[in-house]
Structure 1
């Protein structure tokens, strides 16, 4: 039931929850409208059912995106005997009253190893296909591009802010808690990354469970460096 008015929205990013759901429990049927809702599965199996007739079991590497539009109902629960660990993310669409749609994509660990995999992108962005299942990023009706990486120790990646209608850009970075749930604090035993501006002195260290808001400009670069001893699973949102 966490809610904090200082963290209600950043750009088009409305919600990011890192959830762990016990076996055979979950979220019963409930309704949404006018949100883009996507789930990024870290471990375990997530059962999704919705009012559009979609029933699916999602596993590690799977990404499910529901464009709620004028309204949908769905349920999600842990499938099988193991806990499911996933991130549920909401964004605000640029256009209202759209028909509901459902998409799934799969991105292997190899596709994310030491490089940015573009897993969600605006519906009109280059390389985005609108098939229910397909290759490339899932299409979102928001000015939001989501990248994911599995960053090896002593390895770094740069990201240049994407072009958009405004020169000023926003980004959000989140480090996934792969070493276990740490309530109220970042993990001291998990992965650790250093985030820095390529052309400046600002830098910050992020541990598992940490997130950071970033302000930048089109073309400017930030760098994520793994400074710990474990692989870091990092999500980067480039926001309009």
Structure 2
């Protein structure tokens, strides 16, 4: 039986990394001072930074244009302010998406006064059309909505079930890119299946362990036809989809009573 999916690992320790004291960050793709021609983008996915920001610090006001920018909050509080008069404090389970279009400026800070860092992923995708009108969206997904199931947290703006309301719970944020982003919190011993409808996919296992150097959860990817790959926390995988009927199997293999695994899956155009 021929493999319907081809996996290429993107190991956590091979990502770009910077420790600025107030910011500890890992870059899946080339970003800032980290540049690697082998990891520039994948499909429309251009940036995926896993950031930890110390209390009362953050990113000052800076401009963006022509990117779809979304933040996935893992823990802590992220204060967002922008030139569209949006001011919001985002917490665990929140997804915030800014369609930068013709241009916006924003700041992102950890305003927590009790010594709690914020851990979030900032993700950029390339829009399918240029010079869009800037827009701002937030969505919230409880842990229960993601427990041992796929939650569709971001989806192409014209996909079924996607609306352009500014806020919402349990419905995907609209993105002007050919991608769908799913999230799950997968219990040890559990397996999820996902049919992949586009040419490429990317999987990221979030580093949720309290100790950044801890081994944490282990996840096995497979296609049911011989293709397999094991990932740890902070690891990712490029996935080439070789069949129109390809299905991805994701299993938490952390062992009896092992930790849950928080996983992001991107189903994308080539």
Please tell me the TM-score bracket, short chain as reference: over 0.9
The answer as to 2:40 corresponding to 1:11 is: no
Post-superposition Cα deviations, 1:61-106, rounded to whole Å, max 9, x if no partner, equal 0000000000000000112131000000000000100100000000
Q: CA deviation at 1:152?
A: 0.2
Tell whether the 8 Å contact from 1:191 to 1:207 is kept in structure 2 after alignment. yes
Structure 1, unmatched stretches of 5+, are: none
| Equivalence for 1:218 | 244
The worse-fitting range, judged by mean Cα deviation, of 131-140 and 69-78 is: 131-140
Tell whether the 8 Å contact from 1:188 to 1:207 is kept in structure 2 after alignment. no
- Aligned-residue RMSD, C-alpha: 1.1
Q: CA deviation at 1:218?
A: 2.9
TM-score normalised according to structure 2 size? 0.83
TM-score normalised according to structure 1 size? 0.93
| Equivalence for 1:170 | 200
Aligned partners of 1:54, 1:214: CA distance in 2, in Å? 36
Aligned partners of 1:218, 1:139: CA distance in 2, in Å? 24
Aligned partners of 1:9, 1:143: CA distance in 2, in Å? 14
Judged with a 3 Å threshold, the aligned counterparts in structure 2 of structure 1 residues 181 and 238 are, in CA distance, closer, same or farther, namely farther
| Equivalence for 1:132 | 166
What are the residue-to-residue correspondences of 1:186-197 with 2, within 5 Å?
Answer: 188-197=214-223
What are the residue-to-residue correspondences of 1:50-129 with 2, within 5 Å?
Answer: 50-80=82-112, 81=114, 82-129=116-163
| Equivalence for 1:236 | 265
SS at match of 2:38: helix
Aligned partners of 1:90, 1:181: CA distance in 2, in Å? 26
The worse-fitting range, judged by mean Cα deviation, of 83-92 and 172-181 is: 172-181
Structure 2, unmatched stretches of 5+, are: 1-32
Q: CA deviation at 1:188?
A: 4.8
Tell whether the 8 Å contact from 1:160 to 1:218 is kept in structure 2 after alignment. no
The answer as to 2:67 corresponding to 1:35 is: yes
Aligned partners of 2:202, 2:58: CA distance in 1, in Å? 27
**Where has structure 1 moved over 4 Å in runs of 4 or more?**
none
